[in-house]
Chain A
């Protein structure tokens, strides 16, 4: 597939990538799915509106959680996004991707699974992202099991270790051309063991530069309230996921992007960290930072820039 001449934009402005757990096709039981189906056109209109707004915002790829192929097709309507599809992509993972072909080319690469004691449930999907020139970016979208079952904490840690092995292998094999991004709903915060000790996600950019197997996690900076109490009267989302029954907090930063070392070194692709944000905007956000009824996650957005493609002569 030929890429559009708009690739030059990648140099002049960051290429934005988004992750969003839509909640449109939850894995949780039949009753909840039925309840979700009852949510009328309003939910679909808002979800479609989010996709259109993300496109206007410069997002070239949206990796989505809790979706089915039919969901994705419906979401892509009236947007510039195309669906990444492949007969071998494991739809049971509930992960999909939409991309804007005028900006990037994205393809399915692999179903990535830790065997987990003979439970063959795919929790991660690998994609490749390319632009007209420059190294390919490996993107792994994940959705780890929820906190509603206590033993899932151990499973998330195992998944973190398994994913770390996969990322390390990609980085070892790719050398200077290894650009790996892991994104998703981890059902853990940036400081939890699964993301730190197991996946080796770090808040320390200097360490991520030195350690090839480390993943820099810019979402450490987005944990909790982002503005001081006395600085701005407008309340914002204090995380990416809202759970009303939370006792210590109702906001969690479960949705994150992590970047391999080359993104923060002098690699061909660079992390544009200032573009990192919790996308708490209309039509999803209501006054006071609350999520619109029917949704419990905000999208998260990051930016990367190619130092090769579109470099001025």
Chain B
């Protein structure tokens, strides 16, 4: 007789393990983002975008081109992008895709792809190592330098926006002045 009860339990267990590993991987990525933010003097913010394929089509070469070129397939749904962006308060500047992460159904192995590099990571240790390798790549360094170079203008815009907001708060009703004349 088939033992569906055991198979059912194994399925629940596998799902739970996948959730645990997914949380662990996301925590690793969050830690990566936190450390990059700190190392950049709070200038660069990193975030994972799960809908990036629909938004961005500017790559033409290398690993990411493959993923962008075929976004209509189901496989794209498990692929997420890690972005870096300069932001001050609510004011944001340009952003760069650092890498794409493709999760397996059980979370690992995770394929990490950036520029012309692919790393297949079987567990957390390898994911950490892969992310470190990416940070050490001069092409990724160049992206960060480019972003950091825009920081002064973003900070200026943010200060201006803050000043304007403060002015509006101090002089209520100024928005509609002169309109009745």
Contacts and interface: CB of A to CB of B under 8 A. Distances in A.
Contacts of B118: 110-113, 126, 166
B122 A88 contact: no
A165 B109 contact: yes
Interface stretch (A15-23, A95-103, A168-176): A168-176
Interface in B113-129: 113, 115-122, 125-127, 129
Given A110-B62, A110-B117, A111-B118, A173 B125 contact: no
A53 interface: no
Nearest to A177: B70
B73 A115 contact: no
B117 A111 contact: yes
Contacts of A38: none
A175 B75 contact: yes
A174 B70 CA distance: 6
Interface residues of B, number: 32
A165 B104 contact: yes
A173 B79 contact: yes
Contact of A115 (B78, B113, B120): B120
Contacts of A158: 122
B111 interface: yes
Contacts of A126: 118
Interface majority SS (helix, strand, loop, mixed), chain A: mixed
A170 B73 CA distance: 11
A162 B102 CA distance: 13
Interface in B93-136: 102, 104, 109, 111, 113, 115-122, 125-127, 129-130, 133
Contact of A108 (B113, B116, B139): B116
Name which of A112, A117, A161, A173 has the most chain B CB atoms within 10 A of its CB: A173
B73 A174 contact: yes
A114 B108 CA distance: 12
Interface of A: 86, 88-89, 108-118, 120, 126, 138, 158, 161-163, 165-166, 169-175, 177
